[in-house]
Structure 1
Amino acid sequence: MTAVSIIIPAHNASATVADTLATLRSEAEIIGEVILVDDSSTDNTAAVAADAASRLALPFRVIQSGCRDAGGSRNLALTEARFPWIYMIDADDLHLEGGLRTLLSKTRTKPGADMVVGAYRRRTDGRDRQFKTPAGYIAAGLANATAYLEGRIRSIAVGSALVSRRTVGDNRFPTGLAYDEDTLFWARVMSKASLAVVTQPIMIYFVSSGRSDDRFAIKPARRFLEWRLALRELADCGIPKSSLKAREGLVALKIARVHYARGDLETAAKFLAVAEAAPKVSADIWRCMRYRLKIAARRRFSAHRIQLQSA
């Protein structure tokens, strides 16, 4: 029985997209369509994907996009998706055999569930990390969305969740953001969803630490303000302002840590001040204190070195 629309945004993914599609082959019986959004590729991504899908007997179609934005590409496919369930995976990640069936099966054993979250593994710079199992979720939607933004429950990787098309409705990914657009989308969807979890691993999520950190290092103030405007739009879901402020603090702390690691102590201190002003759990209070001390120590060391050089 075909029930699932698969959405894959892709930009210059000719080296990886065939492998991603191959990992979906074992789920062909329940896949109604695979929608590849070819977003401004300058290689032969679409041709490689079409050839692979043909060999794998996957129902496949391509949407052309010029938005140069993964969220925007997913939005195009969400508008076009025809089947009751939506599963999204990126063109350089790998699905694990049986994962999609497990997610779909949970919607049958737990009637009323319109979103199911499973485990996933990060592969960071080629090294496998431990599986991340969803924890802390309850059935109630708004409570999940609030806890998700505050970092109190395990995050979702695109590719580890199945959601009903009805629940997605008109909700879309915010576009033009450098980071965290997935979090804002999931929080908005979760705020109205009845959620279930499975402990089975669903996918492998590939991460480049350098590319990930670069998102926070380029035009940090401007990008943070753009992201914060999108975050604050979640207030219309009924999410408390305190939870939105908590999310601001978590992201600001990430930015501060990246700039500290790269030696930009001034920018690190500015974002650390934002993080310190936000509501947070005790663990993040200690992280802020630790980075404040580390920044102060490095500043003293730099000043002392300058004095020695000028003596």
Structure 2
Amino acid sequence: MEAVSIIIPAHDAARTIARTLASLVSEKEVIGEVLLVDDSSSDATAAVATETALRFALPMRVIKSSCRDAGGSRNLALEQARCPWIYMIDADDLHLEGGLRALLAKARARSGVDMVVGAFRRRVDGEERSTKMPGVYTASGLANACAYLDGRIRSIAVGSALVSRRVIGETRFPVGLAYDEDTLFWARVMAKASLAVVTKPIFIYFVSAERSDDRFTIRPAARFLEWRRALRRLPSCGIAERSLKMREGLVALKIARVHYMRGDFDMAAKFLTVAEAAPRAAADVWRCMRYRLKITLWRRLSTPAAQLQRA
């Protein structure tokens, strides 16, 4: 049976890494190596991981990193991975028994498949949410990449996909971005991949809503421009300009939503303007209209005359 390289970036993950590694034990027969990238941890991440790997006889290597960046840590492991298949999971998520074997079985069942995407379960702030199913992919890798950026295909969560080392090739995660670096990586890989899906949940994705939204509130304009520069490098893969513009609008709308929910209506309005200038699906047109109306009402109610009337 073909072996898999498991890649786990970890920063100060001593509380969760043992649980994550233990969740992989049921897949030992197909795991060729576990590459744990200890990225500038100030706690006992490496020691806890090493003890857990020894206890369960997992073939783990610790790679020391000072990236302070999950994408950069994954890139280090991709350089050193030895197995024909790559599976990535974060240090606070849980793999579900049989998930990796289901991905491998699908890859073997269809000749030429070099990427398999599965379902996943999402747990937000400790609350279990519905299972997220993979999108409807076509035989065209480039069409899939465009649909993925457009938002017509659900985002791939790291931990739900198996991809061949061959198709990854020299593709790497962009580094230094506050968000969406996974999307840019998967779009590049997907553009050249023959892809299959499985409906079995592969892992549980743990999300902190507050921490997720915080990414959009720190230096929002500068971070957005950094991300957009990385997005604009995708045409080298053959991805259509329209898809890039739609992705730009989708991310701007997400940032606008976070600022609106946190009461920063001026910043929300700025990003809403970016979203409105991009090509959009009908649902996103409606979202923009709703946010614009709410911001307009807020501004009218915040004028000195309105404040005096309310007093």
- TM-score normalised by the shorter chain: which range applies? over 0.9
Stretches of structure 1 lacking an aligned partner (at least 5 in a row) = none
Cα distance in 2 for residues equivalent to 1:199 and 1:107: 14
Give the SS at the match of 1:297: helix
Asked if 2 retains the 8 angstrom alpha-carbon contact of 1:87 and 1:163, the reply is yes
Matches for 1:152-167 after TM superposition, within 5 Å: 152-167=152-167
Which amino acid in the other structure matches residue 307 of structure 1? L
Which amino acid in the other structure matches residue 196 of structure 1? A
Deviations 1:177-225 (A, max 9, x none): 0000000000000000000000000000000000000000110000000
**Corresponding residue for residue 27 of structure 1:** 27
Cα distance in 1 for residues equivalent to 2:186 and 2:243: 15
Cα distance in 1 for residues equivalent to 2:287 and 2:227: 23
Deviation at 1:307, TM superposition (A): 2.8
Deviation at 1:163, TM superposition (A): 0.1
Deviation at 1:161, TM superposition (A): 0.1
Asked if 2 retains the 8 angstrom alpha-carbon contact of 1:2 and 1:29, the reply is no
Cα distance in 1 for residues equivalent to 2:293 and 2:50: 54
Cα distance in 2 for residues equivalent to 1:23 and 1:302: 52
**Corresponding residue for residue 262 of structure 1:** 262
Asked if 2 retains the 8 angstrom alpha-carbon contact of 1:120 and 1:133, the reply is yes
**Corresponding residue for residue 306 of structure 1:** 307
1:281 aligns with 2:284: no
1:132 aligns with 2:139: no
**Corresponding residue for residue 293 of structure 1:** 293
Cα distance in 2 for residues equivalent to 1:118 and 1:60: 24
Cα distance in 2 for residues equivalent to 1:249 and 1:2: 41
Cα distance in 1 for residues equivalent to 2:121 and 2:249: 26
Matches for 1:50-89 after TM superposition, within 5 Å: 50-89=50-89
Cα distance in 1 for residues equivalent to 2:158 and 2:235: 23
**Corresponding residue for residue 118 of structure 1:** 118
Cα distance in 2 for residues equivalent to 1:80 and 1:39: 16
Identical amino acids, percent of aligned pairs: 73
Deviations 1:19-50 (A, max 9, x none): 00000000000000000000000000000001
Cα distance in 2 for residues equivalent to 1:165 and 1:119: 21
Cα distance in 2 for residues equivalent to 1:24 and 1:281: 39
The TM-score, its normalising length taken from structure 1, stands at: 0.98
Give the SS at the match of 1:216: coil
Asked if 1 retains the 8 angstrom alpha-carbon contact of 2:249 and 2:275, the reply is yes
Give the SS at the match of 1:235: helix
Asked if 1 retains the 8 angstrom alpha-carbon contact of 2:39 and 2:66, the reply is yes
Asked if 2 retains the 8 angstrom alpha-carbon contact of 1:12 and 1:45, the reply is yes
Give the SS at the match of 1:67: coil
- After the TM superposition, which of the residue ranges 218-227 and 127-136 deviates more from structure 2? 127-136
1:229 aligns with 2:252: no
Matches for 1:210-249 after TM superposition, within 5 Å: 210-249=210-249
Aligned alpha-carbon RMSD (Å): 1.0
Give the SS at the match of 2:242: helix
Deviation at 1:305, TM superposition (A): 4.8
Cα distance in 1 for residues equivalent to 2:111 and 2:291: 46
Deviations 1:78-117 (A, max 9, x none): 0000000000000000000000000000011111110000
Deviation at 1:139, TM superposition (A): 2.4
Deviation at 1:136, TM superposition (A): 1.9
Which amino acid in the other structure matches residue 252 of structure 2? A
Asked if 1 retains the 8 angstrom alpha-carbon contact of 2:116 and 2:197, the reply is yes
Stretches of structure 2 lacking an aligned partner (at least 5 in a row) = none
Asked if 2 retains the 8 angstrom alpha-carbon contact of 1:148 and 1:155, the reply is yes
Number of equivalences = 310
